[in-house]
Amino acid sequence: MWKILGKEAIYIDIPETWKKGMLELSPDTEAGKRFKEILSQSKVEYIFNSQTLEHTFFIRLDDAITPEEIQSMADVSLEILKSIEIPVVEIEENVQRYQVIITNYHEPEIIGLNKTPGMSSGQVFMPIISSLDSPGRMNKKFSGSEF
């Protein structure tokens, strides 16, 4: 059985279980209250790397979160994770390695219904395509004369 912060969880519930656990463990300080506020509004994603046996928790922040608040989130997370006596991730009584990534970077979507404006596959490759037929000095290595 998988345990996240001491609570049993199935694979698809791991991000939500981790998020709830971190909210419960956060301190009642001013930084802890802001941590709770930001984390409760953020999306948490989870990835398990079966090659390295490492668990990754991504906290995806809104663009409005300042760098100072991101640093505070990291400080409070570290404080919580260092102070607890239970394993963060445990599978069949084996303690697992994990990492927490706090980021406000959003990967642009190139295909699908929620494409990021200006990021359709054609638009992404247009600079490359236009450079192939634009005027300029010919690359001697591609002229066939030096092969």
> Is the four-CA dihedral 87, 89, 94, 98 of positive or negative sign?
negative
Domains identified in the chain and CATH numbers: 2-103 (3.30.300), 108-136 (no CATH)
pLDDT above 50 (res 61): yes
pTM of full prediction above 0.75: no
Q: Is 79 helix (H, G, I), strand (E, B) or coil?
A: helix
CA distance 88 to 1: 14
Comparing 105 with 100, which gets the higher pLDDT? 100
Give the range among 24-38, 51-65, 105-119 with minimum mean pLDDT.
105-119
